[in-house]
Structure 1
Amino acid sequence: MKNIKLPAGINRAINKVAFKMKKHTPEILVIAGVGGTIVTTVMACKATTKIDEVLAENKEQIAKTKNYVEETGFSDKYTEKDYQKDLTVMYTQRGLKLFKLYAPAIAVGTISITAILAGHNVLKKRNVALAAAYEVVNKNFKDYRGRVIDRFGNELDRELRYNIRKEEVEKTVIDEKTGKERTVKEITEIADIDPSSEYAKFFDESCPGWTKDPEYNLMFLRNQQQYANDLLESRGYLFLNEVYEMLGIQRTRQGQVIGWIYDKNVIDKVDFGIYNIANPANRRFVNGYERSILLDFNVDGDILNAI
């Protein structure tokens, strides 16, 4: 038979649909499994209503056999062994009828459970692959930062990481001798932190622990940071999502695998980045001029393989 070659446009459309279905395989399987479970319940309920009708004839045969034995007893023609054999056959027939009655529901239920497990298995494999890929990227980034620190020092690494630049600004001060105002120039550091990068999150009015009192907010964050360090020390590991929950911040996918591993040589390893002096907004928060703050967490990276 000659192969039929589809037009390129149709072929691309088919491949696109197939790829999307493959991409969403876990969701499709789970939804199908849940739907099948509901159908199984309905089918089982309907089958239950037919039990008496299906087993009526079998019940009557068993009752007649028992009545016959009670009235006539056993004889050479019909021994107790024959009686037990007949009951076994009749009860077996009852079991087969029950199985046939519930067989469709059992089949649908089995397929549904298989679909759910298959979807979970696909998702688990993808998560393992994703975690492995992230671990490679994270290791390469740490190695790169290590080389930068070895060659140029921690200061340059900090400037590059937070995009810190030095600018000359004019500032009006009061001359202590004359009491008059005068303008002076000084060098200050300005940091541009991208809130969408890495794991930085705002602690603001959307968080349950936030208040209108800047001093209380600072005290709350310091206490939560200390609690996170205590938890890390006692358990040996800490996930970023757990810290997010402490602060009332929404969990993230990355937070399920990203976190900290305890190091006995490092005191207070978990750092929320509250005292980042390179960020003017953080300085204003610590000094009580701001109620909210952008927290940047110093996670170790993917810790699943290290636990």
Structure 2
Amino acid sequence: MRKLAIVESLGRTVNRVGFKLKKHSPEILVVTGIVGAVASAVMACKATTKLSDITEEAKEKIDDIHADIENGTQTEEDSKKELTVTYAQTAVKIAKLYAPSVILGGLSIGAILTSNNMLRKRNVALAAAYTAIDKSFKEYRGRVVDRFGEELDRELKYNIRKEQVEETVADENGETKTITKEVEVIDPDNIAGYSPYAKFYEDGCIGWTKDPEFNLMFLRRQQDAANDRLRDKGFLFLNEVYDMLGIYRTKIGQQVGWVYDKNNEYKVDFGIYNIHRPENRAFVNGYEKTILLDFNVDGDILDMM
């Protein structure tokens, strides 16, 4: 029983190691390819130091053959045969000299290309999985809208809740009074209403200053510029918008974005004027210098073009 348990444990360990190797095989192949390419270059350099010996030996044989022709000790036909053999032998020696470095270099290039092919297949599979999830989610939201209406869908999407707030207003006679009204807000401690593409526009980003009004003006201008670029190109990746704002690129940002729609000239929206977020209202009104931008991408546009 003990031996059986040891065998089973060993089998599980081997499977885990095999899975990890398979998981990280692209990285392993790239590193192996780079190391192999460097080693191939070093081997080629070392082989070159021995090349002169082969060429000198061949030169001596060729000179002897030409000397025999001039002295008449050998016919021209026999000399041509010896020259052919000498050239062939020299070529074989040079090939053998560089063969190890050439073979290693070829294997290194093959490892790098194999790694790239594996990553490409994984990215295709990831894009397909994202497309399926995105399609399923949109269909689900469509069913929610059909059954319960757009208002409930909006509240669920942005995690909107209603609050009672007091507000002081003046009547026709100039007298002030306090009234209670219901407003829609989003819990600032709950980010469920944000998409995975939301990013902070803050210190360190392009155009950011300590002046909230200037930041708002800059963001509006960049949003207009993004829409102009979308109209000119016909498509726009999220990473391109990140670049315009000085925000680090993401992997998914190279897949999602916008596709031009002639019926919607201002399609790109940074989510600045989302009145349901108190922090957005504070930014627009000049009380906050930073804002969490939430971009309204169309989804994976690689399959839309």
* CA positional deviation for 1:114: 0.8
- Summarize deviations over 1:84-118 as a string: whole Å, max 9, x none: 33322222211111110011101111111111111
> What is the distance in 2 between the residues matched to 1:305 and 1:212?
41
User: What does 1:191-206 align with in structure 2 at a 5 Å threshold?
Assistant: 191-192=186-187, 193-194=191-192, 197-206=195-204
Residue of structure 2 in register with 1:20 after alignment: 20
> What is the distance in 2 between the residues matched to 1:5 and 1:107?
44
> What is the distance in 1 between the residues matched to 2:38 and 2:263?
55
Q: Which amino acid aligns with 1:250?
A: Y
Matched, 1:7 2:7: yes
User: What does 1:1-307 align with in structure 2 at a 5 Å threshold?
Assistant: 6-69=6-69, 71-72=70-71, 78-79=75-76, 81-173=77-169, 177=173, 182-192=177-187, 193-194=191-192, 197-307=195-305
Q: Are the structure 2 counterparts of residues 196 and 266 from structure 1 closer, same or farther at C-alpha, using a change threshold of 3 Å? A: closer
- Summarize deviations over 1:26-80 as a string: whole Å, max 9, x none: 00000000010110011111111111123332221012222333x346x9x613x
> What is the distance in 1 between the residues matched to 2:192 and 2:202?
17
> What is the distance in 1 between the residues matched to 2:22 and 2:150?
46
For the Cα contact (< 8 Å) 2:238–2:254, is it kept in 1? yes
With 238-247 and 81-90 compared, the bigger mean Cα shift is at 81-90
Q: Are the structure 2 counterparts of residues 286 and 11 from structure 1 closer, same or farther at C-alpha, using a change threshold of 3 Å? A: same
Secondary structure at the residue paired with 1:216?
helix
> What is the distance in 2 between the residues matched to 1:267 and 1:197?
23
* CA positional deviation for 1:7: 2.8
> What is the distance in 2 between the residues matched to 1:38 and 1:176?
85
* CA positional deviation for 1:167: 0.6
> What is the distance in 2 between the residues matched to 1:112 and 1:178?
84
Q: Which amino acid aligns with 1:186?
A: K
Q: How many residues align?
A: 299
Q: Which amino acid aligns with 1:188?
A: V
> What is the distance in 1 between the residues matched to 2:90 and 2:57?
10
Secondary structure at the residue paired with 1:121?
helix
> What is the distance in 1 between the residues matched to 2:256 and 2:160?
25
> What is the distance in 2 between the residues matched to 1:33 and 1:191?
51
> What is the distance in 2 between the residues matched to 1:91 and 1:209?
69
Q: Are the structure 2 counterparts of residues 196 and 62 from structure 1 closer, same or farther at C-alpha, using a change threshold of 3 Å? A: farther
> What is the distance in 2 between the residues matched to 1:9 and 1:197?
43
With 250-259 and 81-90 compared, the bigger mean Cα shift is at 81-90
> What is the distance in 2 between the residues matched to 1:127 and 1:82?
64
Aligned-pair identity (%):
58
Secondary structure at the residue paired with 2:208?
coil
Q: Which amino acid aligns with 1:135?
A: T
Query: Normalization by structure 2: what TM-score?
Result: 0.91
> What is the distance in 2 between the residues matched to 1:183 and 1:234?
52
> What is the distance in 1 between the residues matched to 2:130 and 2:233?
24
Query: Normalization by structure 1: what TM-score?
Result: 0.90
> What is the distance in 1 between the residues matched to 2:78 and 2:242?
73
Secondary structure at the residue paired with 1:167?
strand
> What is the distance in 1 between the residues matched to 2:32 and 2:283?
51
> What is the distance in 1 between the residues matched to 2:180 and 2:240?
45
> What is the distance in 2 between the residues matched to 1:9 and 1:170?
67
> What is the distance in 1 between the residues matched to 2:150 and 2:81?
88
For the Cα contact (< 8 Å) 1:195–1:201, is it kept in 2? no
For the Cα contact (< 8 Å) 2:234–2:260, is it kept in 1? yes
Secondary structure at the residue paired with 1:7?
helix
- Summarize deviations over 1:193-226 as a string: whole Å, max 9, x none: 3487421111010313211111111111111111
* CA positional deviation for 1:265: 1.6
For the Cα contact (< 8 Å) 2:168–2:178, is it kept in 1? yes
